[in-house]
Structure 1
Amino acid sequence: MLKKIVLLAIPGVAPFEFGVICEVFGIDRSDMGGPSFDFTIVTATPGPVRTSLGYDMIIESGLEVATDADLIAVPAHSLERVDERYLEVIRAAEARGAWVLSVCSGAFALAQAGVLEGRRATTHWMHAEQLAARYPGSTVDPDVLYVEDRKVVTSAGTAAGIDAALHIVRKELGASVANVVARRMVVPPQRDGGQAQYIQSPLGDDCADSFAEVAEWMLQHLGEDLPVEQLARKALMSPRTFARRFRADMGTTPAAWLNRQRIIRAQQLLEQTELSLETVAADTGFGAAAVMRHHFVKVLQVTPTAYRRAFCEKVSA
């Protein structure tokens, strides 16, 4: 169970990425059915820690607090070599099977610690080439929002850290709990790690609005068969143009986006209702329980039955 979270305040820390971790894990949301974590910010030498913007934060706790943390989080920081004391904390967390999360250039600390060796990883697209060159033992994907490889999660810049953090909350505590956090933060809970970091040719406001409307309509009709041809008609485009522009605007294909929304909706129904697997599959557009099982195992590495057994207990507890 994800309970104790420790955030490493490394000198040169970037305030936004630091704040992302604080926002997801540091606020008590139990009044809305959300989580309340044991959250601590630590640094190697307690006292003032200089941020990337030139001001100091006063951090009172030392690294000894991290010994039994369930998650070690590393926000973006300067690309200079990190103090060995932080690296030891990261190595120890990975060795005992705890979660390790980096946001943006925080991946460089994970790489220095050696935990990205033999793993897939990502970082901000501006730093991806440098990360791959410095640490060739890791497979760096510059195009995705975040990557999870055996409980080590690396994310791209800024808001992708929110997606990565919510991904961990969702895997440990379920979709309903992750949605509570996302709703309080007023962010979408469903962005998938495989979506693109950035858009090569941003669309105009009118086009972006039209896709937002189509996406909302898709969410309201998940139980139906939604071929690209039908979606294209809703957007007043040809199927080919719709598919191309949807990927440019949403960072993934219509089919992949729709599949991810169906999985998330199925997670919610498995957590919150006693509906049969066949009914859940039908209501979410998978059609049959066997098809839903295939997608759960492929994406979540767990069967719907095992997911319900794990998260129904946590939601009702």
Structure 2
Amino acid sequence: MTKRIMMLLADGFEAVEASVFTDVLGWNQFEGAGGTELVTVGLREQLRCTWNFTVVPEYTLDQVDLASFDALVIPGGFEEAGFYEDAYDEAFLDVIRYFYAQDKWIATICVAALALGKSGILQGKKATTYNGVGSVRQAQLREFGAEVLQDPIVMDGKIITSYNPSTGFDVAFLVLELLTNAENRQHVERLMGFRD
């Protein structure tokens, strides 16, 4: 049975953090075990990435049925590009709360963990977020009640957070493994040149 993954995009998201999911899950569809479908969703019909190119998500949030998805992935972005305007919007936060209440996988890269914190689901949970610039973002995550760790990737239950863009591929491969299996992850990693 196909696992459907919603990639929830905020205006001002960082393209590279989104592309790791499109590439890893895309390679899985064409060359791996298959059985995954990544769907891009935003609060608006057009989104501008951190570095100023425009992206059109497949659907706006009002066009999708949350119950049809098995996992949620969220790339981070830049405050200067307006990322938190969408990421902290109640409609965006309600999606996170829904996936958490349904005990479905939620994976974020970098500052996208702050949206999880803002939603309230990280109270008392282990997590991480962007670790640079004096760890301001980590202090913010702590204020949301998270126990902030310095590991590149942190899993607590079905919540995955990571601490900067360099973790992107690892998070995407982890999601692939969790939704398929470790053997398939290794196969796709080999095909993409991440493993001998």
* Smaller-chain TM-score bracket: 0.7 to 0.9
Which consecutive unaligned segments of at least 5 residues does structure 1 have? 189-215, 217-317
1:141 is the counterpart of 2:140: no
What is the match of residue 12 of structure 1? 12
What is the match of residue 3 of structure 1? 3
1:137-286 counterparts in 2 under 5 A?
137-142=145-150, 144-188=151-195
* Structure ranking higher in strand proportion: 2
Quick check: 1:66–1:72 contact (8 Å CA) kept in 2? no
Measured after TM superposition, the shift of residue 21 of structure 1 is 1.5
Structure-2-length-normalised TM-score: 0.85
Quick check: 2:177–2:185 contact (8 Å CA) kept in 1? yes
Q: SS at the partner of 1:101?
A: strand
Measured after TM superposition, the shift of residue 102 of structure 1 is 0.4
Quick check: 2:17–2:76 contact (8 Å CA) kept in 1? yes
Instruction: Measure, in 2, the Cα distance between the counterparts of 1:187 and 1:129.
Output: 29
Instruction: Measure, in 1, the Cα distance between the counterparts of 2:164 and 2:11.
Output: 18
Measured on the aligned residues, the alpha-carbon RMSD in Å equals 2.2
Instruction: Measure, in 1, the Cα distance between the counterparts of 2:101 and 2:156.
Output: 14
Which consecutive unaligned segments of at least 5 residues does structure 2 have? none
Q: CA-to-partner distance for each residue in 1:137-177, whole Å, 9 max, x for gaps?
A: 101113x2201101000012223121122223223422111
Q: SS at the partner of 2:165?
A: coil
1:110 is the counterpart of 2:116: yes
Q: Name the count of aligned residue pairs.
A: 186
Structure-1-length-normalised TM-score: 0.54
Quick check: 2:14–2:49 contact (8 Å CA) kept in 1? yes
Instruction: Measure, in 2, the Cα distance between the counterparts of 1:12 and 1:104.
Output: 13
CA gap of 1:111–1:59, structure 2 versus 1, over 3 A, is: same
* Structure ranking higher in helix proportion: 1
Q: Comparing both chains, which one has the higher relative contact order based on Cα–Cα distances under 8 Å and sequence gaps of 6 or more? A: 2
Q: Which runs of 4+ in 1 moved over 6 A?
A: none
